[in-house]
Structures are given as structure tokens and as C-alpha cells.
Amino acid sequence: MPNINPNFTEYRLPYTLSEFPCILRFCRFPKSSVRSWLPHGLFSATVNKMFGLRLTSRFLAPFIVPRSNMIEVMLGRLKIAHRTPMMGQKCHLSLVPIVLDKSTHGERAYDIYSRLLKDRIICLMGPINDEIASLVIAQLLYLQSEDKKLPIHIYINSPGGVVTAGLAVYDTMQYIKPPVATWCVGQASSMGSLLLAAGAPGLRFALPHARIMVHQPSGSAQGQASDIKIQAEEIIKMRKVLNGIYERHTKQPAEIIEKWMDRDYFMTAEEAAAVGIVDAVLKEAPAVTSKKHDHGTSNVSGKS
């Protein structure tokens, strides 16, 4: 294996230009906000053989612009093989599809998540950590600045994550003025279920095969006995905080919440609706209303 500078990460796409009918126009580095423009004439010659590009960032986010107005279906199937020098293991990062939005002013290319954000939709997918929480909070605050009345929709498919990161998102959801609708697709476990339950009354939904799980917070500690005691007491305090949040949003008595939280407690979408974690299980899309971007929820109550 060649000696790779730890400041570099190697990205390769095993496709020739004939198999990859799109032009890579620029690459964006979120951590440093630096954009490196790649001239098509020079770059395509490399792609014709075999695409291999080494970039000075571990956080590559490619933006693909199609040749024509037709979005290539194959774009969603392409993957980047990513080898980290430290671990020496490969993982695959899916390319983010690009869509075109047409208006009277012309066409504009968006990555799919930015286009959804334009419709006041936030995707909370995967583990909840500080980075994900920061992105969700920033989107919530931005959408509030755009319109303080139209609802914001958060789609959740998460196994949970860091308690403090989840509570940061929770507090922001309660703080902002627009009602926040929550939608569970796949699973909402641990902190994911808390954020699902924290949606505005009447705006908490789950799809039929979604799974919801609640449990008490967990952690680990090492060191002197006094240090371990401090950490244990903090976890107990955090459990009381989380129990109170579930109690507030589900209207269940404290004894029921404590029983749920003692161990992993799994629920189907229907069971979650019966105990007040969600308001409804949706088997078909809500009726479309005349208001833009409200997902048919304009006739449902907002914040409590």
C-alpha cells in the first residue's frame, strides 16, 4: 500500500466518462468553505481513463451537474469508495442527487436536501451527534426567519445518539415560532423518539412500518470512585429530565414513563399513536391544500 499523507484522503470513481454522463463542475469542502474549480477540458481527459482524485479534505461533498435538463437516474446508484489512511478500511459514500428547479427566471440546480429545505422539509437521518444537531438547528432558525407561521416538517429516521445534541434540537423546536411537524420513517429510537414526540400537537406522524423505541440514557465512567459517582448522578438527573419531556408530550403518567424507560421499549406505529408519542399513522399522503409548502397540515393545530 502506498504511503499516503494523513492530510489527504483518496477518492476514486470506477467509471469511465461513457458510463458517467455528467460533468463534475466543482467540489465543495464544507469544513474550510473552499471551492476548487476543475476545468472540464482537463478533467474529462482524466475521467475517460479512470477517475481518481486526491483532495486535501476528509469531507468531500461532490456536486454533479448533468449535461442536459434530464436528471440521470443512474446518478443515485454511483458511489465513492473512500479509504481512510488511519483505519485502512473502505466505506461507500453515496453521491447526493442534483435536481433542477425551473422558474420564470430560468433553471437552478439544487442538491436534493437543499431543494427539500426550500419546501420547509428537514431530513434528520442517522445518529444524532453535535454536527447533525448543528445542521438541524441552523435549518430550523433559517426557516423561522423565512416564515414564522408556515409549519416546518422534520422527517426522522434515527437510532438515537448524543443526549445533549438531541436536547439542543428539542429546545430549538420548542423555541421557534413556526409549528414543527415530525414524521417517523423507518425508526425513531432513543433521542429520535423524543424528537418525534416533541412535534406540535396534531402534527406528529408515523408511517405504517415505522418502529419507535424509548429507553433511559446510558453512559460510562472511569477514574476515582468520586468521579464515577458524579457521572452516575448526572445520568440519573438526565433520566429525570427525559422522563419529564416524554410525560409532557405524551400526557402519560410518570409511572408509565418510568416503566417504559427502564429498558429498551419498542413500539409499532399504532402502539406509539395509542400512547401519545405520535398523533396519527399515515397510510396515504395528506390532502393537498391551497397553501404552499404546508403538506396539508394547515388545518391542524400548531404549538401548545
Query: Cell numbers of 273, please?
Result: 399513536
Neighbouring-strand partners of residue 102? 107
**Can you say how many angstroms the Cα of residue 58 is from the centroid of all Cα atoms in its chain?**
20
Q: CA 194, CA 166: separation in Å to the nearest integer?
A: 8
Catalytic option among 57, 153, 189, 215: 215
Neighbouring-strand partners of residue 187? 211
Q: Could you confirm whether 220 is annotated as catalytic?
A: no
Write the DSSP symbol of residue 166: H
Q: Could you confirm whether 215 is annotated as catalytic?
A: yes
Q: CA 78, CA 139: separation in Å to the nearest integer?
A: 27
Burial of 69 (C-beta count, 10 Å sphere; 0-12/13-18/19+): exposed
3-state DSSP assignment of residue 221: coil
Catalytic option among 190, 193, 249, 295: 190
Helix (H) or strand (E) holding 46: helix 40-49
Query: Among all residues, which ones are annotated catalytic?
Result: 190, 215
